[in-house]
Amino acid sequence: MRIVVLAGGTSTERDVSISSGLLVAAALREKGHEVVLLDVFKGYEQDICDVDALFKQNYSFTDSIKVGDTISDIEEVREQRRDKSNRWLGENIIDICACADIIFLALHGGAGENGQIQATLDLLGLKYTGSGYLGSALAMNKGVSKSVLVQHNVLTPKGSVYKSAEAAMSWDCFPCVVKPCSGGSSVGITIAQNADEYKDSVKEAFGYGENEIVVEEYIKGREFSVGLLDGRALPPIEIIPAEGFYDYKTKYQAGAARDVCPADITEDEDRTMRSAAEAAYEALHLESYARIDFILTGDGKAYCLEANTLPGMTPTSLLPQEAKAEGTEYADLCEKIIEISLKKYE
């Protein structure tokens, strides 16, 4: 097959996306596919674009990336763009994608995960992996997804959405979790133990260019994630941070957290989380594959925190670990995602 892997972009998760894209592209090439890896924002910045040649040579816009403990400088990325325009789609992106059998979306956050690129590709009649525009939009906005989960009786922490720091001062339950409404990779998420810390947390959450934040009750318990393939839950994985909680630095720095899969839980706890994950998947209109995050309390309650429509595929990512626990190796998982995604177009 001819496959375009789209990565990069301009979200706070740019580096994570590129790391995912590099691994996915390499795995699919090992399987014998012709794969072009593109930065969706920069595109292919050459005066002559020979699409056939790009596929034949398995073109990649980069051959390495390191996910640091801080997010990349997006303004610097914008300045490096050849045409200096504000278009989100880079040069030649559509023309190259139009020659592929399918587009593997290795994007994370922003327009790559909130339904905008999905809707664009739908209008152009191009096939891609993952959820469609509706499920992507519902899951990306944490305030909206929380409302949907409540409506479908999926247990989730109580919380509120605020459109300004002033309005957020009405919250008075501590400790609490404060996060940007549409962020990912735990960027901007903090835990406030009291009113003074809460003011700083609200400022932090609003500092990522969004006009809404979510504040919710802090649920004490163990952290888990449940991946899904075609709506079926994989074995839950437990995340045990060396310190603090599962924030951006902990997620992508080797040794910062210990992942246990299959998780050391009872059959009832396993069944509860898998059932909740599948219910959330259906409620949010997700497709192909996803990952749902949970907090499991001491009394066996599984609180659904959020859904990820384009789970990370980096060296430390959770979905590949869960698939491997069932005997599916990384390259086979990448092909499986494509196979499941193509079913949408039959």
Q: How far is CA 338 from the centre of its chain?
A: 17
Give, rounded to a whole angstrom, the gap between the first and last alpha carbons of the chain.
17
pLDDT at 252: 46
Give the C-alpha distances (Å, rounded to integers) separating 179 from 121, 188, 216.
29, 6, 9
Output phi, psi for 301, to 5 deg: -85, 135
Token pair of 12 as six digits: 């706070």
Angle at 39 between CA 33 and CA 44, to 5 degrees: 85
Domain limits, CATH 3.30.470.20, in the chain: 222-345
List per-residue pLDDT tens for the chain, 346 residues long.
Answer: 999 999 999 988 899 899 999 999 999 999 999 999 999 999 999 999 999 999 999 999 999 877 655 566 778 888 889 988 889 999 999 999 999 999 999 999 889 999 999 999 999 999 999 999 999 999 999 999 999 999 999 999 999 999 999 999 999 999 999 998 876 545 778 999 999 999 999 999 998 777 899 999 999 999 999 999 999 999 999 999 876 554 444 444 555 678 999 999 999 999 999 999 999 999 999 999 999 999 999 999 999 999 999 999 987 789 999 999 999 999 999 999 999 999 999 8
Q: Does domain 2-128 have CATH number 3.30.1330.60?
A: no
Residue 72: predicted pLDDT:
67
Is beta strand 257-260 parallel, antiparallel or unpaired with respect to 302-308?
unpaired
Q: Are strands 289-296 and 302-308 parallel, antiparallel or unpaired?
A: antiparallel
Of the options 3.20.20.140, 3.30.1490.20, 3.30.465.10, 1.10.3190.10, the CATH number for the domain spanning 158-217: 3.30.1490.20
Task: Say which CATH architecture domain 222-345 belongs to.
Answer: 2-Layer Sandwich (3.30)
Give the orientation angle of helix 116-124 with respect to helix 133-140, to 10 degrees.
170
Specify which residues 226 forms β-bridges with.
Answer: 292
Would you say 295 and 276 are in contact if contact means Cβ atoms under 8 Å apart?
A: no
Q: How far is CA 280 from CA 148, 166, 211, in A?
A: 9, 32, 25
pLDDT at residue 64, rounded to an integer? 80
**Which residue(s) pair with 239 in the sheet?**
223, 259
What does the pLDDT read at residue 78? Answer: 86
Beta strands per DSSP E along the chain: 2-7, 34-39, 102-105, 159-162, 176-180, 190-192, 213-217, 222-229, 232-233, 237-241, 257-260, 289-296, 302-308
Locate CATH 3.30.1490.20 in the chain. Answer: 158-217
Q: What is the pLDDT of residue 70?
A: 56
Give the separation between CA 263 and CA 318, rounded to whole angstroms. Answer: 12
Dihedral through CA 191, CA 196, CA 201, CA 204, nearest 10? Answer: -150
Please, where in the chain does CATH 3.40.50.20 lie? 2-128
Q: What is the pLDDT of residue 76?
A: 83
